[in-house]
Structure 1
Amino acid sequence: MTSTGITLEPLDVEAHVGRLHAWVTHPGSVYWEMPEASVEEVAQEYTQMRDNPHHHAWLGRVDGEPAFLAETYDPAHSLLAGTPELREGDLGMHVLVAPTDQPVPGFTRRVFRAVMEHCFADPAVRRVVVDPDVRNDKIKVLNAQAGFEVERAITLPAKTAALSFCTREAFLASPLVRPEEGA
């Protein structure tokens, strides 16, 4: 499994707001915390993100077609600011795979691997930080496959989150990168 055919580009809010709105308000995206957002609210959220030097949104394409949204951010300038476990070299990450009526086996794992490779492409990044809702069982499994370890549960404004970290070494040794070892 490789991330061949997967690209990430800075999100063009104006060009993709309709698609983005459909993705983040889809019932399957409940943990994205925007189920009732209007197109205008989604545009505003991602315009603010675009203008924030500490937070970046990425449109992911698979074989040229828009297929996922990723966000990377400096956790010291986020809701995680002040969390004692944060270290120099940490990069926060969120990922949302576009909802589909025809799931493709292994697709989400491929996308997740590509996003992690994108995060670790910067040699200054030592760990990737995620904060999924503790009720999100699907992402728990995927995070574990990528090498994340849950540090602890933390309370954020809209959820109780599983503060989790993945080192470069853990990712490179993970079943996501080395599926034959994880079988």
Structure 2
Amino acid sequence: MRLTLEPLDLGRDLALLHAWVTHPRSVYWQMQEASLDEVAREYAAIADDPHHDAWLGRADGTRQFLVETYDPARHPELRDLPELEPGDVGMHLLVAPTERPVPGFTAAVMREAVSFCLARGPRVVVEPDVRNHRIAALNAAAGFRVLRHVPLATKTAALSVCTRDDFAGSDLGGTP
């Protein structure tokens, strides 16, 4: 399977993106009730932000996942955290909800997303909701270490980091 990332094209991808972020399985994206216009505004704001990008992921040419990268030092709720280091790359990951999961697909997407981020900086930072046990397990498999729980406006986040060495020594990063 060939995984690729390209800049999100709102003109082309908005309807699909809306379906993904409002799906019941995407509850931790906190967009369950968002209208098409609200999703468009959110991702237009990301496109306009020089420190935040949205990337569409494809598997063998089919749109299958979303990766957001951002500068945590410029994130309004994270920027003052002492754990941040120069060059950190923040990451959000959403795998398209499906009724027919493919074994190993989400792990392959995570491997690609972390590799993509580590090509942009020495360390990846994530801040998932502490209640999201699935992403916690996936993060651990990729080598992320939870530094601490951080109260944010809409969640308590498990502030976590992954260096190149962490990833290389992990279950996901150690496999070709």
- Give yes or no for TM over 0.5: yes
Report Cα offsets for 1:5-61 as digits up to 9, x if no partner: 000000001211000000000000000110000000000000000010000000000
Describe the SS at the equivalent of 2:90. strand
Aligned length: 175
Paired residues for 1:16-27 under 5 Å = 16-27=13-24
Report the Cα distance in structure 2 between the residues aligned to 1:132 and 1:14, rounded to whole angstroms: 28
Query: Residue 147 of structure 1 aligns with which residue?
Result: 143
Match of 1:39 among 26, 36, 41: 36
Instruction: For CA contacts below 8 A with separation 6 or more, give which structure has more relative contact order.
Output: 1
Residue of structure 2 in register with 1:172 after alignment: 168
Matched residues, percent identical?
58
Structure-1-length-normalised TM-score? 0.93
1:154 & 1:178 partners in 2: Cα distance?
29
Q: Is the 8 A contact 2:167 2:174 kept in 1?
A: no
Structure 2 counterpart of 1:163, from 142, 154, 159 = 159
From 101, 107, 119, give the equivalent of 1:103. 101
Structure 1 residue matching 2:5: 3-state secondary structure: strand
* TM-align CA RMSD: 1.1
Which structure 2 segments of 5+ residues have no match?
A: none
Residues 44-81 of structure 1, C-alpha deviation per residue, up to 9 Å, x if partnerless?
Answer: 00000001000000000000000000000000111211
Q: C-alpha distance in 2, partners of 1:12/1:23?
A: 15
User: What is the aligned partner in structure 2 of residue 129 from structure 1?
Assistant: 125
| TM-score when normalising by structure 2 | 0.97
Answer yes or no: is 1:77 the counterpart of 2:74.
yes
Q: For 1:133 and 1:121, locate their aligned partners in 2 and report how far apart those are by CA, in whole Å.
A: 25
Gaps of 5+ in 1: none
